[in-house]
């Protein structure tokens, strides 16, 4: 079974084609600047790579271009588009619908109901799914919702202190996101540690960041709440924020609620704190050069990670392993060092040399804890596409 896993943006389509007989990646590619006069289409199949410019007006045409690349007579890895068993999507927010579903009108309707909660994610996915359903109608579309992994979180950690009718009628609760990434870490750490009952804290730190407490392979707590705008400071999203500050901001700026929310979702986080960049690499360089605002941005980011890390440790009653993943988690030695600093009494100690220059295996994994650390500390690159492909296979096989 071959599964095409799609990662959509409003003007982009990135994909990986996986052969699920051995879970190998056959191809990866991207179409950028969809809808512009000239789009860029790139593909890598084995040792062969190609990049071309062509007109790609919508995501449906992007998928058609992708399938043409994959079935190229000389370099392709598919004999025909029908070799693809499903197109899987790492869908974000379905509200009343979670888990894994074949995309139909009810799934799209449920996603539309959550547009205001996930404005950067849901609308482009819905538009693309509708287009694809028309243009590649013979290939099943499967939505694997990021909220699905967190359905195991106990009710006490999922429920906001709001009137019950809001919770029940509007599906307002702490849903949690980055489900595919945290699910992969849960699965992989179980394999690494050789046990299914391990207590693991997954630190997905990147352009978008969240922590997840994992016990017996299941999510029992996470930092993001009702929307991906909550929890840790994101690259340009605010993270946790007191809603009662909104009237004051509106009075001061003269902006509407919609305008203020737009700024909280696009001009805050690391970008708002630093006043310079949403990329932590740029912020670290500027901080090293003496930029006080950039240093404060780093300090706030680390302080929030540590605050939530403490909550995860309490939820689990301690941890067998802490796992750093995603762009910052995997590559940010100074962030890992700052997060773990002074936690020796909690049984968490880094090895400075290992952390600065990790000795990775073929999967990019490495240990960075010291010999005296009671808690193992790992770097593990995530693989969200593999998780989505596995979920697609499980759904299709169950429906046969």
Write out the two tokens for 113: 């109901």
Q: Is 172 annotated as a binding residue?
A: no
Read off the DSSP letter of residue 289.
T
Q: Is 371 annotated as a binding residue?
A: no
Q: Is 197 annotated as a binding residue?
A: no
Q: Is 337 annotated as a binding residue?
A: no
Write out the two tokens for 161: 């202190």
- For residue 271, the Cα-to-chain-centroid distance in whole angstroms is 19
Q: What are phi and psi of 212, to 5 degrees?
A: -145, 130
* Strand positions, DSSP E, the chain: 2-9, 12-19, 24-32, 39-45, 48-54, 84-89, 100-102, 141-144, 199-204, 210-215, 218-222, 321-325, 366-367, 376-379
Q: Is 327 annotated as a binding residue?
A: yes
Q: Is 328 annotated as a binding residue?
A: yes
Distances (CA, A) of 213 to 153, 162, 239, 317: 9, 24, 18, 10
Sheet strand arrangement including 218-222? 218-222, 210-215, 199-204, 321-325, 376-379, 366-367
> Whole-angstrom Cα distance, residue 76 to residue 59?
21
> Hey, which residues does 317 pair with through a beta bridge?
none
Q: Is 384 annotated as a binding residue?
A: yes
Q: How far apart are the first and last CA of the chain?
A: 13
Write out the two tokens for 349: 């100690």
> Whole-angstrom Cα distance, residue 365 to residue 360?
5
Contact 174, 160 (CB under 8 A): yes
Closest CA to 50 of 78, 82, 72, 35: 72
> Whole-angstrom Cα distance, residue 194 to residue 48?
37
Q: Residues within the annotated binding site for ATP?
A: 14, 279-281, 327-331
Q: Which residues are annotated as a binding site for Mg(2+)?
A: 7, 384
Known binding-site residues equal 7, 14, 279-281, 327-331, 384
């Amino acid at each position: 079974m071959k599964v095409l896993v799609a990662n959509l943006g409003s003007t982009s389509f990135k994909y990986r084609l996986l052969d699920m007989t051995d879970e190998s990646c056959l191809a990866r590619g991207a179409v950028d600047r969809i809808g512009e006069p000239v789009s860029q289409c790139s593909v890598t199949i084995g040792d062969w790579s190609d990049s071309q410019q062509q007109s790609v007006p919508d995501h449906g045409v992007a998928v058609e271009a992708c399938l043409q690349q994959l079935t190229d007579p000389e370099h392709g890895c598919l004999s025909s588009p029908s070799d693809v068993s499903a197109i899987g999507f790492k869908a974000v927010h379905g509200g009343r619908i979670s888990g894994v579903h074949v995309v139909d009108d009810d799934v799209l309707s449920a996603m539309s109901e959550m547009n205001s909660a996930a404005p950067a994610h849901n609308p482009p996915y819905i538009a693309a799914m509708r287009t694809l359903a028309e243009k590649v109608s013979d290939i099943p579309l499967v939505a694997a919702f990021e909220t699905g992994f967190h359905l195991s979180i106990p009710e006490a950690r999922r429920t906001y202190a709001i009137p019950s009718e809001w919770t029940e009628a509007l599906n307002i609760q702490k849903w949690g996101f980055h489900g595919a990434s945290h699910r992969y870490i849960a699965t992989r750490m179980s394999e690494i540690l050789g046990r299914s009952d391990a207590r693991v804290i997954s630190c997905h730190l990147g352009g978008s960041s969240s922590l997840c407490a994992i016990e017996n392979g299941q999510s029992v707590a996470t930092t993001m709440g009702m929307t991906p705008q909550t929890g840790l400071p994101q690259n340009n999203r605010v993270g946790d924020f007191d809603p009662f500050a909104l009237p004051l901001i509106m009075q001061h700026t003269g902006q509407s609620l919609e305008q203020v929310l737009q700024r909280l979702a696009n001009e805050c986080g690391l970008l708002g704190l630093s006043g310079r960049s949403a990329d932590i690499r740029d912020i670290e360089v500027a901080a090293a050069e003496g930029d006080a605002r950039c240093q404060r941005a780093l300090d706030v980011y680390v302080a929030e990670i540590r605050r939530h890390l403490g909550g995860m440790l309490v939820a689990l009653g301690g941890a067998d392993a802490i796992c750093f993943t995603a762009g910052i988690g995997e590559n940010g030695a100074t962030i890992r060092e700052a997060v773990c600093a002074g936690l020796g009494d909690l049984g968490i100690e880094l090895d400075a040399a290992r952390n600065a220059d990790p000795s990775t295996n073929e999967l990019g994994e490495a240990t960075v804890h010291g010999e005296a650390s009671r808690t193992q500390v790992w770097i593990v690159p995530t693989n969200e596409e593999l998780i989505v492909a596995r979920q697609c296979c499980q759904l299709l096989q169950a429906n046969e």
